[in-house]
Chain A
Amino acid sequence: EPEVTQTPSHQVTQMGQEVILRCVPISNHLYFYWYRQILGQKVEFLVSFYNNEISEKSEIFDDQFSVERPDGSNFTLKIRSTKLEDSAMYFCASSGYRVNSYEQYFGPGTRLTVT
């Protein structure tokens, strides 16, 4: 069964450093998403991406964040200058297209630790 994959599974970085989290969505899907979950808290939406552009973003997704689909398979989340509060699990998700029905399939997540 096709699945979303994410690398790395765990990333440790120092405050102020740039990180890139990588995702390979399910191959025939058209919509891509990033969510994050701070330890012990809710899963929070960050951004959705369709047709090579951001379709929606939350207030969390500020200028420090960017997304890119550099080729036909990868979908990346970049954090330019990490802060301690960016420490969280980051989940990538993808969905196909069916009118008014977009069930999302999530990857296993990348645990980002900012020290």
Chain B
Amino acid sequence: DAKTTQPTSMDCAEGRAANLPCNHSTISGNEYVYWYRQIHSQGPQYIIHGLKNNETNEMASLIITEDRKSSTLILPHATLRVTAVYYCTGGYGQNFVFGPGTRLSVLP
């Protein structure tokens, strides 16, 4: 699985877009980029994944650079409810390696 690096923490004002970066320079050609989040002690929650193209769903948008060495998760109009630890991971999905992630704090 690809090794990923993320900032330890980020703040975002409520109602603004949160942009969470991830570096995955060792990702191989067939590995997808997955994003998950963990709210408090709950189970990780799947957010979005992508291979090469940008992706959007009801939760977020994923922007992957053309060289696939990094990506950005965009949470539009962040609310207090999305305060969580966000994990970026790469792989084929059989055994995700979760790093420490980014602790996103949405501030009122």
C-alpha gap A31/B96 in the complex (Å): 13
Main SS of chain B's interface residues?
A: loop
Contact call A43/B38, Cβ cutoff below 8 A: yes
Interface residues of A in 41-97 (CB under 8 A from B): 42-45, 48, 55-56, 58, 89, 91, 93, 95
Across the interface, which residues of B come within 8 angstroms of A58, CB to CB? 95
Contact call A104/B38, Cβ cutoff below 8 A: no
- Does A103 have its Cβ within 8 Å of any Cβ on chain B? yes
**A: contact size bracket:** 20 to 34
C-alpha gap A38/B4 in the complex (Å): 21
Number of CB contacts from chain A to chain B under 8 A: 61
C-alpha gap A56/B42 in the complex (Å): 24
Contact call B96/A45, Cβ cutoff below 8 A: yes
Q: A33-B95, A48-B94 are in contact. Are A100 and B30 (CB under 8 A)?
A: yes
Contact call B43/A107, Cβ cutoff below 8 A: yes
Binding site for B on A (CB under 8 A): 4, 31, 33, 35, 37, 42-45, 48, 55-56, 58, 89, 91, 93, 95, 100-109, 111
A-B contact list, 21 entries, CB within 8 Å: A42-B99, A42-B100, A45-B95, A45-B96, A55-B94, A91-B44, A93-B44, A100-B51, A101-B32, A101-B49, A102-B92, A102-B93, A102-B94, A103-B34, A104-B44, A104-B46, A104-B96, A105-B46, A106-B44, A107-B43, A108-B42
